[in-house]
Structure formats: C-alpha cells, structure tokens
Structure 1
Amino acid sequence: MTDPQSNNFTVVVGTYTQSMPHVEGKGEGIHLLNFDTASGQLSPVTVQAAVNPTYLAVSADRSRVYAVREVTAKVGAGVSTYALDTARGTLTLLRDTPTPGSWPCHVSVDDSLPLLLVSNYLSGEVLALPLDAQRVPAGAPAVLAGAGTGPNAERQDGPHAHCALVSPDRRHVYIADLGADRVTRHPLAGGSGMPRQEPDLVLPAAPGAGPRHLAFGPAGRCLLVNYELSSTLRMYRLDADGAASLSSEISSLPTGFDGVSYASAIRLHPSGRIVYVGNRGDDSVFAARVDEQAGTLTPLGHWPAGGAAPRDLAVSPDGRYLLAASQNDGFIRVFSIDPQTGELEFTGHDYPIRNAVCVQFA
C-alpha cells in the first residue's frame, strides 16, 4: 500500500474539464498526486488530459485506473482504461471504450470476477463490462436498465443510476438509483459472472430521498446507503439467507440546519468503525460510528470542509488522513484522523485543483 522507504501514497483525482448544466468545468483531466504521510501534504506528479474523467476506480493491485467520460451519448460517453505505474508516476492509456447511454457518473471494478460496472446517471442504466486478461473491457456489456420515478420532479423524472458495486461475497451487484428512489440487488449468474436484469431484492427509499452511494461493512454483514436529496444515512443488515433489513437511519446534517444541502460521498474508514459523508450546502464532513454487529449508526460530529460543495472524500489506507475535495472552490483539504475517536483535525494543508469530482488513494 505504501512505499516503505518514503511512506508516500499515490492519489488519483478525476475532474470536470467541460461544463455541464450543474457545473462550469475548468479541470485539466486526471491528476496523479503524491501524498506524504509524514507531512500530510499533497504534491503534483502528472496530469493526464481527458474529457470529463469525473469518476475513477483503481484496481486492487494498483496497476489499472478506469475513468468514465461523463458526456452524453451523442457526444460519445465511454470509459478509459489506463496502466498505472506508481513508481514512475505515469498513466498510460490502454483502451478507450465507447459505452451506451449518457452521463456515466460512477465506475467500480471487481478484479476477481473480473467485472467493471459503469453507472449512467442521465439515461439511468448500469453497464456491466467483462474484462479480458489485460483487464480492459472486452465484449458487449450487460445492460441493467433502470425504471421508476420519485416525487422530486426536477431530480427524479426517471431512473438515475448513481452507483453500482459488487457485494463482498461476489454473489450480487447492488445499484443505487437516485431517480427511482430504490436500491436493487441483482444476482450474478454462475459461470458468466454477469448480473441478471431482474433484481431479487429491492430496498425502497423514503419518498424523495434519492439513493446516491453505497458501502459495505468489512464483514459483509451490512450495507450503508447515503441519500443525496434527504441527506440521510441508512444501515441495512444483510443476512446469510439473503434477507436485508433496515437497522439504523440518521441525518448527515447538523441539528437545526434549515438550508439546502445535498449529500455527496460516503467513505468507510479502513477499520470499518467510522463512516464519513460529505454535505454540499452545509459544506461539512459528517462522521458516524458504525457497529456492524449491533446494526447501529451513532453520530460523531461535523467538521467544516473549508470550501463549497465537498464532492468527494478519501480516507488514506493507513487510516490516518481524510481528503475532502471542494469542487466549486477548487482545492483538496487534508485532515488528520484521531485513531481512537475518528474525529477530524485540519492539518493546515490545502492543495489547489479545479473541479475535483473523485479522489482515490492508489
């Protein structure tokens, strides 16, 4: 995970390089940064030019980076596969894969299947792309079409897939659909490893809540879901027999907050005991204690992100730091994490980067 001689991490950051209805894109592409764990500082390594490489996924062995091209189908949505060399500090394009649908906003990878999942926000479907021996997309994707609407006419006029993950037991794909107000679970077919269109489980959201992102507890016994429109966080128990039950629900906003705010990222601490959520509007980072065995979430507090619209968060693999990317104010703020409580403290270090959308430790 780290270089034992330097104790440094490589960080990859996706940005908006072109404007969209909700953002004025001024980013440069995919940034490779160095993070020094001794000083808590970020420094530049290189920038890979690309069109709206907003969300990224890094393979488990850190040799591949997958980046969506968040544009419409007409312009040419897609996903690009890069070879990552952390020692040399380079990204090398291996393949650009056009994908059906519009506004791919999330990508995740499971190296063992191997499978790449791309979530199309605007057109509402999830694409499951098989990977070849070089771990680049090969063959036609399975298309998991979304369906449904929600009560928020502006944001929930149809399905809007926002996140898809393979479950820790590699038996299912879970999809968070902001537009349809539901999380669905799709069985992975035997030998093909491709998900089935029809879900075998549906977890409905509170009307208008808007499921955004997902995270699994380290033991695989719980699912965490954050809801963009309601700024709430839920925990579901996942039983061995395939059942799922809501066990805890809390707000990610401070008590008494009466403004407009939308939840962004959800990130679990490597210990599995703390979860962090970004709030855009309140412009804070919220933390809660996770008890996977008891099935409970306990609020810990809020910390100012320092800038407008903290779009993404990232926790260092050693669990000592959290990075908060303020999309609209153009910087990443570095926090230290108290190892006992999970509380945050601003280190005094900000790194300037325009329109950051996704931050991943490699």
Structure 2
Amino acid sequence: MKSPATFWVYVGTYADAGEESILLYELNTGTGELTLVKGFIGGKKPSYMTFDKDRQFLYAINEQENYLGRKSGAVSSFAVDQQTGYLHLLNRVPSQGSLPVYITLGQEEKTVLVANFSSGNIAVLPVLADGRLAETTDLLQHKGEGPDKERQQTPHVHCIMLSPDKRFVFAVDLGTDKVMRYHPDTQQGKLVPTNPAVAFVASAGTGPRHMRFHPNGRFSYLIHELKSIISVLSYDKQQGTFTETQTIATIPESYRAENKCSGIKVSPDGKFLYGSNRGHNSIVAYAINESSGLLTLVEHVPSGGDWPREFALAPTGEFLLVANQKSDTIISFKIDKPTGRLSPTGYQAQVEKPVFLEVVPISGQS
C-alpha cells in the first residue's frame, strides 16, 4: 500500500532517443523528498506532457526538428499502469511541424492539440479508443512576425489550451505577440478560425510564452519570455477575448543580465501565482486579488540551480518542484499556504536536463 502522503511525479527531460527520457518519482508530501521509481524510454526530448482526466493515458511531445526523415517532431502516447504508475508506449506519430513544445487534450478528450514552435503551426491528432494517436486531421499555419529580429522573424506557437468552458481554443504565439482564437470541431477533428482570429494582442516584442486561467475563469495570466513580464488579462467568456488590466515584472528592477521567462502556474486555491525566471534563476511569487485578478509581488526565491525551465505544484498546494535544466537538478520547496512563500525542503533529485514536471495523485488517492 502506498502512503496517503505520496504523489507520483513524472519528469520529462532533454535526453536523446533510446535513453530513459521520462522518469517517475515519488513525492513524499510530509517531507518533500523525491524518490526515483523507474525510468522509461520516452523518445527524444519529451519536453511537455499531459494526462487524460482519468490518468489512464499520457501524451508527450518529442521536441525535435526531424522525425523519420521528415521536417517534423513527434507525439507519443503511453498507457499508464494504475497501480505502479509505469508507462507503456502505445504509438508515436509525426507532429507535422518542427520542434513541438506544448500539448493539451482537446474538447471531450477526443483529440490532442500540439503547438509546433519552429514551424509556427498547430496540429490536431485524434485520440483512438485504446489511447493511441491517429495521424493529423488538421494543421493550422500561423503568419506574421515581431520586432525582435533574432526571435520573432516567423511565428512561434508556444502554448495551446482550451478555455475553461471548452468553447474556444487559444494559441499563444511568441513570434507574433498574439493570442489566436479557434472554435473546436470535435466531430471533424479540426480547429475553425474565428472572425476576428485574434483574441489578444500583446505589446510588441514581449514574446508571450504560456498562459494560465484562474480557477474562477474570469482572469488569465500571460507570461512573456522576451521581456520578463506577466500580463493580467480579464476574460470575456462570451466573446472569447482578453483585456489587459495589469503588467508586472518577473524580475527585480535592479537585475540587468539575461533573463527568459518560462513556466507559470496558479495555486490550486487561486490565491497565488508563480513564474520561473531563466537567467535570474528564480521563482517569482505573487498574491492574487480574487476580486480583480491583480497581482502583488510576494517574493523572488532562488530556484536552487541554473535555468529553471518548468515547475509544478502538488495538487494539495503544499509543495512546488522546480526543474533546473542546466544544473541537472529538481529542487523541492514547501509552500506556506497562507502567504504563498516558498522555502527549500532540503531535498533534491539529480536528473540530467530536466525540463518538465507533472505531479499527480497515486491511483486510489484523492
């Protein structure tokens, strides 16, 4: 029997094909200790993953430029053993775009939606009854550019997600400084562009990367990789559009060296927002005004390593785990729930090039 104070942690890495690129850990939520359970050959660079609602299947992108001789990344599907957490590869298909970086399940979990960063397009892949993935049924190409000549010469889709009511699909494009909007057509396995197609236009050159909704569905938070800011957005659920109500820095004003924002998460209780800073090597914490959605800085906490690409919150809201890509560590933090402040637990895991984390309850636990 598993301890009721234990969660599974799935770690995606930048390991090559043929290596154990997805790792399974146990998180002890009494102490924050991480214990390695098993490694799995998950394909090359499984840098973002998502589960179905029952956690029977895991879907991972394989962030690569060439797959089976074509200019494409890949998408892998795995069956999840409910007792052990072990993964079994079901199949792997092309993502129909270069460098996929984000994946989410579509409406009714009948499709997966994939953001291909380098090629600037979105792929829709049907999910079959046994959890395997079928070949792409839709491919939508973004157009445009931004003012940053090094990073924004072409579109770069970095995030794709459903609205809370699942009426819209939003795609965050770092290359064009826009959030694009689509209607999901589940029966046809397609995304239908809306008119107008743009849900939000960010400030030029900010490079929006990831977006998260508040649990109340009234606000969302957009983190910008290129300018180290977060936009607070008021969400019009009828129109599927956003209005910016606040812009707040993710790093101290005195910091002048390189920084690239990465992950963003809202605490399960909706009271706090966290973001990761690569370069400043920190996690920034904000308190959320639950009436207005506006943010107030709580603190910057060192990530305990170099280049914190992604992080994850335990479902209980009591722990935060950070993947420090360049220093090969996952650091465990305890969250003080009344204040949102972080403190290192003293526990860490040594993992080569960790880039993604997902914390899930063990089967049979709430």
TM-score range, shorter chain: over 0.9
Runs of 4+ more than 6 Å apart: none
Counterpart contact for 2:71–2:97, Cα < 8 Å: no
Stretches of structure 1 that go unaligned for 5 or more consecutive residues are 19-24
Aligned ranges 1:63-102 → 2 under 5 Å: 63-73=56-66, 74=70, 77-102=73-98
Percent pairwise identity: 33
The yes-or-no answer on 1:121 pairing with 2:117 is yes
Aligned ranges 1:75-224 → 2 under 5 Å: 77-110=73-106, 112-189=108-185, 191-192=187-188, 194-198=190-194, 200-224=197-221
Displacement of 1:118 in angstroms is 0.8
Which of 34, 40, 45 is residue 26 of structure 2 equivalent to? 34
The yes-or-no answer on 1:339 pairing with 2:342 is no
Stretches of structure 2 that go unaligned for 5 or more consecutive residues are 361-366
Alignment correspondent of 2:363: none
Alignment correspondent of 1:298: 296
CA distance in 1, matches of 2:204, 2:256: 19
In the superposition, relative to structure 1, how do residues 240 and 168 fare at CA in structure 2: closer, same or farther (>3 Å)? closer
Alignment correspondent of 1:270: 268
CA distance in 2, matches of 1:113, 1:13: 22
Alignment correspondent of 2:12: 14
TM-score w.r.t. the length of structure 2 is 0.92
Displacement of 1:163 in angstroms is 0.5
- Per-residue CA shift, 1:244-289, capped at 9, x if unaligned? 2111210111131111100010111111111110000100000112
CA distance in 1, matches of 2:85, 2:65: 31
Counterpart contact for 1:60–1:111, Cα < 8 Å: no
Counterpart contact for 1:59–1:111, Cα < 8 Å: no
Query: Partner letter of residue 133 of structure 2?
Result: P
Which of 319, 322, 325 is residue 323 of structure 2 equivalent to? 325
Alignment correspondent of 2:359: 361
In the superposition, relative to structure 1, how do residues 109 and 191 fare at CA in structure 2: closer, same or farther (>3 Å)? closer
| SS in structure 2 of the partner of residue 278 of structure 1 | strand
- Per-residue CA shift, 1:77-99, capped at 9, x if unaligned? 21000011242231001111122
TM-score w.r.t. the length of structure 1 is 0.92
Displacement of 1:147 in angstroms is 1.0
| SS in structure 2 of the partner of residue 302 of structure 1 | strand
Alignment correspondent of 1:52: 45
Query: Partner letter of residue 210 of structure 2?
Result: H
Counterpart contact for 2:11–2:354, Cα < 8 Å: yes
- Per-residue CA shift, 1:292-343, capped at 9, x if unaligned? 4313111111000011100101000000000011000000000000010110
In the superposition, relative to structure 1, how do residues 60 and 122 fare at CA in structure 2: closer, same or farther (>3 Å)? same
Query: Partner letter of residue 51 of structure 1?
Result: K
Displacement of 1:194 in angstroms is 3.2
CA distance in 1, matches of 2:162, 2:130: 20
- Per-residue CA shift, 1:30-69, capped at 9, x if unaligned? 0111111122111111111121112111222111111111
Query: What root-mean-square deviation, in Å, do the aligned CA atoms of Structure 1 and Structure 2 show?
Result: 2.0
Displacement of 1:111 in angstroms is 6.6
CA distance in 2, matches of 1:239, 1:76: 35
CA distance in 1, matches of 2:281, 2:172: 23
In the superposition, relative to structure 1, how do residues 205 and 353 fare at CA in structure 2: closer, same or farther (>3 Å)? same
Alignment correspondent of 1:237: 234
Displacement of 1:112 in angstroms is 2.3
Query: Partner letter of residue 183 of structure 2?
Result: P
Displacement of 1:227 in angstroms is 0.3
CA distance in 2, matches of 1:190, 1:345: 44
Displacement of 1:351 in angstroms is 0.7
The yes-or-no answer on 1:255 pairing with 2:248 is no
Alignment correspondent of 1:22: none
Counterpart contact for 2:178–2:198, Cα < 8 Å: no
Counterpart contact for 1:113–1:193, Cα < 8 Å: no
In the superposition, relative to structure 1, how do residues 86 and 37 fare at CA in structure 2: closer, same or farther (>3 Å)? farther
Displacement of 1:240 in angstroms is 3.8
Displacement of 1:139 in angstroms is 4.6
- Per-residue CA shift, 1:191-212, capped at 9, x if unaligned? 5463213554331111110010
Alignment correspondent of 1:21: none
Displacement of 1:241 in angstroms is 3.0
Alignment correspondent of 1:348: 346
